[in-house]
Structures are given as structure tokens and as C-alpha cells.
Structure 1
């Protein structure tokens, strides 16, 4: 059974307005309607209200112990397959279907954005992302690590291409933008109402998952993953150069990668990273719709 949208606003009471309904219905910042329904549903979960604070405390204490011990060890180790298989099991067993949907969808959003920049960048032959998981089980194939590697390799390739093609922006303006890479994302997450264990909200799940991540990656790999969350500003600037539109950049809050945040803030930064990615992807979808409408009028 495929997960279906299940957020329904309550009847309006002007003397007692529902805050979550206001967030869901407001369109000041466009977001994919299905993803937004799951976001608001996730924010209202009892696990976020009652379990998030103790989970964050336990996770940060565990993270401190792991990072301290691994820094003291004379060697580094990693176990990518174990980490990803454990993560997939954890998501399928303990995490709500709505949160799982948002996690799987996020990786596809990242691929669409990277591929859009390649299509409209200084060298359209750069290697594109092929990371489009459809199910939680697909995440077991090193998906999270690949997500980080794709981002960093893209930035290094993109910078080299900019140096080799200094007049690429003028050429882009002449030929126009391509939105072929902004494609619909197919996510299939089974909704298992018979399991009383699948209750964890997105942020609680990420707090626990960062412990797995720190344990099964080397210290340098974990540090690289944490730093990637502040590259939202970098990606946003690249998109603004391509589109010629800087008006929406105020929405980007994960900033200043040259001043890295503490790994103890990684879960919150990852939540913001997911929301900002949704904002950017929806912005590009709207621009694509306008582009197709303008083309049809010609």
C-alpha cells in the first residue's frame, strides 16, 4: 500500500485558530503540497512533543563519547554497508511513514537540483547524479554516502568548468535555461498501520541516526557530511547565477560553510537542509511551469 496524503484542516474557529492549519494553508512560501502535508503532520506527532528532547540528550551524549574515542584511536574505520542497512532497518521499523517519505524524497530532490545546475552550467557534460531512490529499502545501497559524494564532486567539477569556460554565463543567457532535470519524483513508502513501533518523527529519527553516522564513518567523513549541510548557501548562489534571480535567497538559513557548525547541531541543520531543498525544488518547478506556458504562447 502506498502512503497517501492524510492532512485535513480542522473546521475553522475564529476564537481558537489552529496554528498547524495556518502553516499548512499559507502559500507565502510555495512547497510541494504532498510534502507539506507530511511535514505539518510530522510536526504534530506525539513523539516530537514528548520524545525529542530526551532523544536529543541521549544522542548528543553518545555522539560526544563516539567522537572522543574515535579521535583517540590510532586508526580510523568505517562500515558503509552496515551503516546503510542499519539505517534502512531503523527507518522501516521505528520511523513514521510520513518521515520516511520525506527522507527518500530528499535524495531525489538533491539529484534534480544538481542536474539542473549541470544542464545550465559551464559544462553540461559533467557527470550527473543518478541517485533516485524510490523506497526505504533503496537507501541500503549506500544512498546517504553517495548523496554527499555527489554534492562534493559536483562542486569540484563545477568550479573547474567555470575556470575553463569564463564566458559561460553569457552563452547561457543566449541559449536560455533548460528545465529538463526538474522531473517529478516517484516515492513509494508503505504505510503500515499495524505496527505500533513506527512512531518516531523526522527530527527524533535524525537525532538518533547521526549517532549511527558518526559511529560507522571515519571522523573526517563525518565532518565532511556535517559541513555539507551548510552548503545550502553555496548551491543557492549557483542557482541564482543561473536563473538571474536573487530575490528568494533570504529563505536560505544554512549559511557560512567557512564557519562550520558543531556536529551536535547536525540534526537541526539537516532538518533545515531538507526544508530549504523543498523550497528550492518547488521554486524551480514553478519556473519550469512558467517556462512551458511561455513557450506554448509563442
Structure 2
């Protein structure tokens, strides 16, 4: 598929996908439509204005309907932000900095396995895999295809104990720096992409192995509540600069959207990116909410690339 100008590229039209029946692979089944009492979550699930993988979307809806999000999120966020303020202040005042990546990641795996719902665990592991697919797609079609690609593809929560969160951030930053350097060194790279066409080999299915059948009584926390709690420990186990770098990584969604649009020539979908203006970064106290948005935007972007791949295979792109 050749790169075309933004002015001639028509907006991508997602095919209307049939809604799946509920099963182990299709986690959400809408209720019968009651016109006098419509279900808001069903409407959110069946709406396809913004394409999202339906299995992932089913787990998202189940996570959003978790009672802990309704009743515990606000007090958890308040307590977490008070603790975060104390930790950040103390670490800035100390004459030395300290970090412990091993403790951080093993604690994260233990916390998620012990307290987070299976839906939250699924979405966290999947997000890291989607990030690797997107980075690798940009490298395959970028100014220097020899840039080191991501090999970070966890499939279980225990896999996250192997420094997965730190590696996820390092992959992003090293990619941005390498990609920018390659753009400067090869100013005509877009023309080369036009000549060879886009490769979608890196946009591949991801394998996530989370056991939804064993629900221990403590594994109740929704995704955002889990992130609010763990960001406190995250800040404790990183130096001040490393924690700031991790928070700033959430500000690159708009950049990645523009990277993809430069390749496809399609800027019509970028309005779905809400994490904008990277030169005006959000506060660290908003990091849990911004991480939620980052995960959703990654789902949008990955599904968009899957649809472009289907178009290219069918000869319509």
C-alpha cells in the first residue's frame, strides 16, 4: 500500500463486525434490548464508531463495571496521591537517590496476582504487547529499518517480573531518539516508503494467558484502582528522575499518532487521541488516569493498523 497525501486519503471505514457470543474467548454478552430501560454498558460495547478489538473491549467493559471502580477508586486515589506527594517531596530533599528495579517488578507481579481482577491483568499484559507491535511497525516502515526492534512480549503476569515495565519505557524512549536521528540522516525516507509500500508484518495477534476461572476473593480491584495504588510503590522504587521519565512517557500518544499518519497519509482518525500536547505534560498525580487513557489509545491505534492491514491484504488499501 503506497503512502498517499493526507488531502487525498479517505477516512478509513471499519467493517461492521458481528457481535460475538459470550464464551471464554468472547467475554461480554449484551442483554436483550429494553427500549424503556436501555443498558448504557451494552450501548458502549456494541457501538463501533471507534473500532476496538471486541475481545479486549469486552474485558474493558467488565473492568469498568467492577464495583471497586464505583466505590473504592476515589478514596484509593486520594490516599495514593497523599502518599505520592510525601514520597516525591522526601526523595527530592534527600542528598542521594536510590532505586530497586527487581523489587519493583516482583512486587508488581505479586500485587497484580493477589489484588487485581483478571480483567485488569489481561489489559495490562496485552498493552505491553501492543506497544511492541506498534513500535516494530514504525521501525519496519521508518527511515532506518535496522533500528533495534522490541522483543518484549509477555503473556502472563509473572512475565512482568522480568523488568517489563522498565523495558517498556526504555523501548519507547530509545525508539523516539533513534527514529528522530534516522529522520535527520535520511531526509527523503518518506519517498522510499512510497516506493516500497507499507509492511504490516509486525501487526500480529498477541497471546495473553490469564486464568479467568480461578477468582480468589482478594482479586477484585479494577484497572485504574490498581494503577493508583501501585504508582505509589513505583515512585518509591525509582529515582526521582526515573519516575518523572516514566510519567512523561504517557505524553507521547499524539507523537505516535502523527508517526503513523505520516506513513499512511491518513490524519482523519487522530481526533481519538486525547493525550495531547507533550510539551505541556500532565502532573504525576494524574498518572493513573493518563495511563488508562494511554492504554485505550493504544488499543485504538493497534486496531486501526489491523484494519489497514486487512485493507492491504484485500487490495483495497
Task: Sort the TM-score into its range (normalised by shorter chain).
Answer: over 0.9
How many equivalent residue pairs? 295
The correspondence of residues 44-193 of structure 1 with structure 2, limited to 5 A, is: 44-193=65-214
SS of aligned partner of 2:315 = helix
**Alpha-carbon distance in 1 for matches of 2:27, 2:186:** 48
Unaligned runs of 5+ in 2: 1-22
Deviations 1:167-213 (A, max 9, x none): 00011011100000001000001125341110000000010111111
TM-score normalised over the length of structure 2: 0.91
As a proportion of its length, which structure holds more helix?
1
Residue number among 33, 37, 43 corresponding to 2:54 in the alignment: 33
Match of 1:275 in 2: 296
What's the Cα RMSD here? Answer: 1.3
Aligned to 2:238: 217
Other-structure match for 1:248:
269
Using the TM superposition, give the Cα deviation of residue 3 of structure 1 relative to its aligned residue in structure 2, in angstroms: 6.2
- Residue 160 of structure 1, CA deviation: 0.6
Q: Partner of 1:287 in structure 2?
A: 308
Cα distance 1:3–1:59, how it changes in 2: closer, same or farther (>3 A)? farther
Matched-pair contact (CA < 8 Å) for 1:108–1:131: yes
How far apart are the structure 2 equivalents of 1:22 and 1:194? 27
Give CA deviations for 1:200-259 in whole Å, capped at 9, x if unaligned: 000000101111110000000000011110100111111110111111111111011111
Following superposition, the deviation at residue 6 of structure 1 comes to 2.5
